[in-house]
């Protein structure tokens, strides 16, 4: 019984230590993504993602065949701000109000648009205002990375299994002593 209690205590302590470190952001100790939540839905600001994925997203948005933008007088004009940009299996919107979190995608990811960006900085609505963000949805437990959803659980899992092995070794050594 003592052995059982000791092993449970070790597992609980490792879970608390992991939770205090931020719960998972590729070993950095804490997430750089800011977030806010209301009810079951969470809004997060995206961290930097893969260069390849970002490049593909830009090609999708600015490609003439997709029909999302019309180039006129040095500007890219959004044809229909209510029509989502389809990239991969996700819908992306020109502002967070248009992207509604759902039960399946409760995390709202927001990428702020830098007005100095050579492409997105030249995108305008038809009323000559600029979009300030691009929003999309991710599943529970994912975090926002660039224009993609990344798994937070990989960091927790990678810490849990090695630490569980250590705890089992400690428990075994402790039980051999008594």
Helices marked H in 21-86: 51-62
Q: Look at 14-23, 69-78, 82-91, 120-129 and tell me which has the smallest mean pLDDT.
A: 14-23
pLDDT digits (tens, 9 = 90+) for 7-66: 443 433 333 333 323 333 333 333 334 444 445 666 555 556 667 888 999 999 999 889
User: Residue 53: its pLDDT value, please?
Assistant: 84
Average pLDDT over residues 147-151: 89
User: Residue 100: its pLDDT value, please?
Assistant: 92
Distance CA 137, CA 146 (A): 12
In this predicted model, which residue has the larger pLDDT, 161 or 72?
Answer: 72
In this predicted model, which residue has the larger pLDDT, 26 or 79?
Answer: 79
pLDDT digits (tens, 9 = 90+) for 96-134: 999 999 999 999 999 999 999 999 999 999 999 999 999
Name all contacts of 53-59 with Cβ < 8 Å and 24+ positions apart. Answer: 53/146, 53/147, 53/148, 54/146, 54/147, 56/87, 57/87, 57/92, 57/146, 57/147, 58/119
pTM for this model (two decimals): 0.61
pLDDT digits (tens, 9 = 90+) for 52-68: 888 999 999 999 889 99
CB contact at 8 A, 98 and 108: no
Q: How many C-beta atoms lie closer than 10 Å to residue 155's C-beta? A: 19
Residue-range domain boundaries for the chain: 1-24+152-178, 30-151
Q: Measuring CA to CA, which residue among 129, 128, 127, 155 is closest to residue 141?
A: 155
């Amino acid at each position: 019984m003592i052995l059982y209690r000791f092993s449970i205590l070790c597992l609980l302590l490792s879970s608390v230590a992991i939770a205090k470190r931020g719960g998972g952001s590729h070993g950095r100790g804490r997430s750089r993504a800011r977030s806010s939540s209301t009810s079951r839905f969470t809004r997060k600001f995206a961290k930097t993602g893969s260069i390849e994925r970002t490049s593909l997203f830009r090609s999708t948005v600015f490609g003439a065949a997709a029909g999302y933008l019309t180039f006129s007088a040095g500007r890219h004009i959004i044809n229909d701000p209510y029509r989502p940009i389809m990239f991969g299996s996700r819908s992306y919107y020109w502002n967070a109000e248009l992207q509604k979190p759902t039960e399946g995608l409760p995390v709202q990811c927001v990428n702020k648009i830098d007005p100095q960006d050579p492409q997105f900085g030249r995108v305008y609505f038809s009323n000559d205002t600029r979009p300030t963000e691009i929003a999309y949805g991710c599943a529970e437990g994912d975090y926002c990375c660039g224009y993609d959803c990344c798994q937070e659980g990989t960091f927790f899992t990678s810490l849990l299994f090695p630490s569980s092995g250590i705890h089992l070794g400690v428990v075994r050594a402790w039980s051999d002593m008594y």
